[in-house]
Structure formats: C-alpha cells, structure tokens
Amino acid sequence: MAVSRARTKLLTAFLALLVTVIATPPTASAGDAVRAEGRKSAEDVSPRGDVGRREPPTPPELTVVGGAIPPVAQPVSASGSDEVVLRPLVIAVDSADFGLPTWKAVLDRVGTPYDVLSAETEQLTADRLVRPDGVGRYNAILLTDNALLHPDGSGGHVSGLDDAEWRALWAYERTHGVRQVSLYTSWGTFPEDYCLRPGTEGGITSPVRLSLTAAGAEFFDRLKPTAHIPVAHSYAYRSTLAPGCAAQPLLTLDDHVMGVVGTSADGRERAALTFSSNEHLAQTDLLGYGLLRWATRGVLAGESRHWINVDVDDWFNTGDHLHEDGRLDTDPGFRLSGTDAAGVAQQQRDLRTDHPLAGDFALNLPYNGGGLDPDAPARCAPAPTGDALTSYSRCLAGEFRWLNHTVHHPALDFTTYAENEAEIGDNLAIARQAGLTVPTEVLKTPAYSGLGVYHPDPDAAPTAPPTDFGLTSSNKALLDAAHDLGVRYLHGNMSFAGHRPGCFNCGTRHPLQPDVLVVPDWPTNIGYHVTAPAEQTYFYNNLLGGSGGFPSSDLTYEEIVDHESDVALRHVMTGSAYAHTLHQGNLRQYSQLRSLAFDWLRAVVEKYSAAYRVPLRNPDWPALARYVDARTAHFTEWGAGRDAVWDKRTNTVSYTPAGAGWLFFTGVTAQGGVVDVYGTDAVTLVRTTAEVALVATATPRA
C-alpha cells in the first residue's frame, strides 16, 4: 500500500506565543491545568509540561511540651484483638492541619482506603476504634504530628486529644498490635516520650541531605543504603537520643537524629520524623511509602512501584524545525534519518547496560504510516534503499514498541467516521505489512485531538490556546470508528482537566464510549520542533520564560536538562505510571550517540538509580493500559466502603467485594492472583467477583 509521506506544518507565528506558567501538581485531582498552545489542522503543538515542584507553604513550628500522659493497662476491647481492617487512621488537628495533605497524598498514591479524624472537633472513642464484633477498624495510626496541639484561645496550646483519648488510642494500639507513625515530631515528652532530646531547631531553607542509619536502610529498604534524603522548605528539630531509651535513629544529619523508631514504655511500636514535610517535596516521595509500609507491617490494600515510559511521537513523519536563531523551518522541516534510527537503538541498549534498574527499557514510537515507504527493504545499512528511515525501522523493528498514531497526523476534532476509520485502520495495515508489531487496542490521536480540547472558533489564530470542553465534547465519530476497529485505550494528556482522572494512576471511562478508557500522558518541556542543544536552549529561554514565567533568567542546556529531568523524576518517584511524551526530532543524533531525548532520559534514570535499588518497571502500552484499568477498578471497589479484615492469628485476609473488577494488595497473595515481586514486597493483583468472598494469605514484615 503506497501512502504519501505526511508532513506536519506549523505557522511561524507560533514563535510569538507566550505561555502562561502554571505548575501542575503530581496528583490527578489537584491544581490548575497547564495552559496549552494552539493547534491547527495537523499541527503537533504539545501542551506545556510541569515546571517543577509546587512551592510549599511555610512550615509551622511545633510547641514543645513536657509531661507524659501515663497509659492505662485496661484494653479497649477484650475480644477480637487479633483482627484488624486494612485501613489506616490519619489523626490531624483539623482539616487545615499542615501534615494532612501529606499523609493523604501518600495514601492516595498507594490506593489504600483510610479514614481521617479531626481531633479538635471529633471525639476519639472505643467505638471509633473497634467494631461491635471486636475487629479493630484500623491497621495503622498515622499522626500529622506527635502532640496535635492547637491554640487554646488564651495564649496557650492544648492537644486535640484529651488525656482519656490518648489513653484510648494507646490501649487500642497495644491490644490490637497496631503501629503508630508521627509525621512531624518535636522533642518534649508530651503526650508521650519518643526518646528525643533537644539539639537545635530552625527552618531549613537551603536543602540539607539526610543519611540513613543501618536501621534506616532496613526500614526504607527500597532506597540504597548510601542514598541521601534531600530535605527543604521544612522546620526541623535536630535531636539527640536519650541514653538508655528504647529507640534507634533512622535518619541523621551530621550528629543529629532526624528520624527514630522505638518502643513505648507499654510495648507499642512507634516511628517518627523530626522535620515537617509536604506532599510536593522529595522527602515525602522518598520516605512516605516506607513509613506507611512499616506502620501496616507490610500488609496493605494497594501498591506502590516506580515506572518509566516514554513515547516519542510522529515516527516516519516530517515536523517543523526550530533553529537556534529563532527561525522556524516548515519546508522541508526535519525528519529522522536511517542512521538516526540506528543511533537511537544503540542509545537504548547503552541505557539498559549502564543502568540495570532500567534493564528492560524500550521506547514507545507512535508512528504515522504515511511517511513509511512500503518498497524500502528491511536493511540496517547506509546503502540506497529508497527510504533509509523505513529500512532501518524495519530492520530494528523489534527494538521498539510501535503505537498507532494515524496515517497522516490530522486533527480529529471534527472528522467523519469514514475519515477516522481510514486513518486508524490503514495505519495498522501499513505497519503490519512492513513487519512492525502494533497493538490494535491502543490509539494515540494526533496532538490528543478528538477528545474535547479545541478552539471553538475555526478561524482563530493558530496560536490561540484551545478550550477544554471536557470528554463529553469529544468527536463521537472518532470514538465509534476507533471502537469498531478494536481500540480500547486512548491516550489523554495530564495538561487538560478533562483528561485527568479522579484517582492516582487511574484512567477515565469515556462518557460517550464506556468501552474505551482514556489513559493520560505527561507532557514535557522539550520542544516538539527542536533537534539539538542550542535549539532547545533557545526554545526554553525565549519561548517558555519571560513575563514572570519560568525560567526567569536564561539557563544553559545543562541546567535545562537538570531541571526538566527533576520534573520527570518527581513523577517517577511518586509512583506515576503514565508515559512522558517527546517528538521525533528530539531523537536526532546531534553528535555521536547523543540526542535531546536521551540526554533527558539518562538524567532521569541516573538520578533515580542514585537513590533507589528497586527497578523501574517499563511495560508495553497494552500492559500499562491494563494496569491503569485495574487501578481504576481498584479505586471503584474501595469506594463501596467495605472492609478487608486481616486475622493475625491465621494470617488470612478476608474481603467480600461489592462488584466485579480488580484489587491490588501488598504483602498478600491469593489463589489466581498475579504476583509481582518488587524489591522485598509482593504486589498481588486479584480479580474479584461481586459478593463472592475472597480469602488470601498475608505475609507480614517484621
């Protein structure tokens, strides 16, 4: 099948576009959308990516109070002390508590159900902690800070929990074997003694780097023992340990203790950090899951892993070329060569060799078959082949993962059923006839078109930003054609509010075609039209910055790579599974085995490898989409509010699901479940059937 090569065109006026800078937070449910650039016809203008971590609010100082509350020996409940629900309880002062968003972010990323108690306004009673049948309602207690103090209106401070409530909490922890974590802890012995004694206190404005002790390396065993934990935008109580006290340091800063694990006088297990945290800070990404896992003894609903997936769009196509002097070349523009393709394959091999944690990494290549020459032979050689890129691509076909991106890269906002069917179906046929393996069920539309984001005025300037009308304004003819051709997963974009799901690592069932799941990507700030460092530097400094935007002053190429890799690393560290998007020009071999895409990708993987010892998962797109589909079902099931109960005597977990779908567990295995051994954790995916009881085996950690 001969299809003429498509060429993506953009107007030079794009260079005048100024983009409003709004940092998108890492969670799907929070924050403002990143403003997108205009799109016209076959334009491929990617929306602005994140510009960095959101600046956290000023951290609070804690009031240091002495005088421990003596615990009481009487248990809250005399029965059922060996059974607990897989549900942590977060205790905060109130809804405005500084630490509450941090704990919620940790829990939401994992996908574990939890409750929040506002200590200032809600009473903590035995009934709140124990069900009528004696089963403990919670498998972990997570405090936003150790004392939960708030102003008493007379110039002093009072705890949100009174003495009786503290005693009830501790009795529950003791009788049900439930651990407690304080996210932010000062020295002082009220309401109980964590063995911390005064060192120095104060705000941390310039980042400091904490070290793991031997106990800390075991506690946070997904991290390398040599990892350094950056702490910034925090208030810290640099502490010492009381001699002879039952506690071990987890984290240190020079001679001071910054994290501790120990046992209370009545035998309860507790862990604490001595510095404030925020959901947008690296310290939370690095430490949050480890704290939760310890608190739950490693038996929990949900899971957390780290992923790296990269789409490089428009393979075989020709795109615009922005030169370092600001000139935008649309004809002939830029298209990869055969030797570029060979260099990309070698860069990919070298990345896997140099960084074993990314040992199975492969690029996803959304391709436009209109640029493929069906007569070019499969040959990895510079000899004349008709079209060298096609020849090298056929020769290297097994090195990459191919994705349907339509034949000619048209905007699909208002195309007809027949047009959509041809663009989608013909693109599959072209690739398969050339020997490329392409999944039927995944489609990436050009520039995410057809999914409710477009400019309402067809005569608007090409640089005018589009409007996000929501998925209900998608092109129904596109959805019908895609569905009829077997598509079940469509790429969305985290820049658009209408594409962002309501839960972490989830997708969105399309309201006009529920059989299709929209799985969003992360955009990046590597220009779609740049091929070399000087071009990216011009784009970044002249088109993204200025007018109060980021960057506020010019950056070098090395600084740009460092910053942009930090942004992507942030997504990876939170556990986000979504792919990051680049474009074909970013793979040009601007020097031997160097490209913009791999400069950025190597920086991400190198930074990750310096901190972690667990691998980066890199599933192909169908597997990634199925994972997102299962996560979506997981959150739906927990939304029914039912309890999974862990019987510690028999180490069984029992749950009766409300619906058919999927659930993730960590530290739990079940018959028929799919287990991924990730570090020292067993992550299990279990299929559920409505009202059919699930009984699984728990393997708690020490």
In this predicted structure, the answer to whether residue 49 has a pLDDT above a threshold of 90 is no
In this predicted structure, the answer to whether residue 78 has a pLDDT above a threshold of 60 is no
| Confidence at residue 385, expressed as pLDDT on a 0 to 100 scale | 84
3-state secondary structure of 571: helix
| Confidence at residue 19, expressed as pLDDT on a 0 to 100 scale | 31
Do 439 and 621 touch, CB atoms closer than 8 A? yes
Do 679 and 222 touch, CB atoms closer than 8 A? yes
| Confidence at residue 200, expressed as pLDDT on a 0 to 100 scale | 96
Q: Convert the pLDDT of each residue in 513-543 to its tens digit.
A: 999 999 999 999 999 999 999 999 999 998 7
Which one is predicted more confidently, 547 or 684? 684
Which one is predicted more confidently, 258 or 36? 258
| Confidence at residue 52, expressed as pLDDT on a 0 to 100 scale | 65
- The residue ranges of DSSP E strands in 274-394, in sequence order, are 300-301, 310-313, 319-322, 328-334, 364-367
Residue whose C-alpha is closest to residue 504's, from 604, 448, 571: 571
What does the block give as tokens for 563? 């910053």
Q: Which residues contact 339 (CB under 8 A, 6 or more apart)?
A: 382, 388, 392, 589
Q: Convert the pLDDT of each residue in 460-519 to its tens digit.
A: 876 678 999 999 999 999 999 999 999 999 999 999 999 999 999 999 999 999 999 999
In this structure, how many other beta carbons lie within 10 angstroms of the beta carbon of residue 398?
Answer: 11
Do 635 and 651 touch, CB atoms closer than 8 A? no
Q: Convert the pLDDT of each residue in 305-344 to its tens digit.
A: 999 999 999 999 999 999 999 999 999 999 999 999 999 9
In this predicted structure, the answer to whether residue 21 has a pLDDT above a threshold of 60 is no
pLDDT band at 549 (very low <50, low <70, confident <90, very high): low
| Confidence at residue 62, expressed as pLDDT on a 0 to 100 scale | 86
In this predicted structure, the answer to whether residue 56 has a pLDDT above a threshold of 90 is no
The H or E element that residue 420 is part of is: helix 417-433
DSSP state of 165: H
Q: What is the average pLDDT across 177-188? A: 96
| Confidence at residue 271, expressed as pLDDT on a 0 to 100 scale | 98
DSSP state of 591: B
| Confidence at residue 70, expressed as pLDDT on a 0 to 100 scale | 81
* C-alpha to C-alpha distance for 610 and 559, rounded to whole angstroms: 19
Residue whose C-alpha is closest to residue 482's, from 558, 419, 530: 419
| Confidence at residue 10, expressed as pLDDT on a 0 to 100 scale | 29
- The residue ranges of DSSP E strands in 437-594, in sequence order, are 442-443, 453-454, 467-468, 489-493, 508-510, 513-521, 580-583
| Confidence at residue 18, expressed as pLDDT on a 0 to 100 scale | 27
* C-alpha to C-alpha distance for 636 and 634, rounded to whole angstroms: 5
Q: What is the average pLDDT across 381-399? A: 93
Q: Rounded to 5 degrees, what angle do the CA atoms 623, 628, 632 make?
A: 145
| Confidence at residue 45, expressed as pLDDT on a 0 to 100 scale | 44
| Confidence at residue 57, expressed as pLDDT on a 0 to 100 scale | 82
In this predicted structure, the answer to whether residue 545 has a pLDDT above a threshold of 70 is no
- The residue ranges of DSSP E strands in 607-691, in sequence order, are 645-647, 652-655, 661-666, 668-669, 674-678, 681-688
Alpha helices in 338-416 (DSSP H): 338-354, 388-395
* Residue 111 Rama label (left phi>0; alpha psi -120 to 50; beta): left
3-state secondary structure of 103: helix
Least confident of 63-77, 196-210, 665-679: 63-77
* C-alpha to C-alpha distance for 196 and 156, rounded to whole angstroms: 23
In this predicted structure, the answer to whether residue 351 has a pLDDT above a threshold of 50 is yes
In whole numbers, what is the pLDDT of the chain averaged over residues? Answer: 91
What does the block give as tokens for 176? 């049900």
| Confidence at residue 64, expressed as pLDDT on a 0 to 100 scale | 79
| Confidence at residue 39, expressed as pLDDT on a 0 to 100 scale | 27
* C-alpha to C-alpha distance for 181 and 159, rounded to whole angstroms: 17
Do 100 and 157 touch, CB atoms closer than 8 A? no
* C-alpha to C-alpha distance for 677 and 246, rounded to whole angstroms: 33
pLDDT band at 641 (very low <50, low <70, confident <90, very high): very high
Which one is predicted more confidently, 79 or 459? 459
| Confidence at residue 51, expressed as pLDDT on a 0 to 100 scale | 62
In this predicted structure, the answer to whether residue 292 has a pLDDT above a threshold of 90 is yes
With a pLDDT cut of 90, the percent of the chain lying above it is: 84
* C-alpha to C-alpha distance for 498 and 470, rounded to whole angstroms: 5
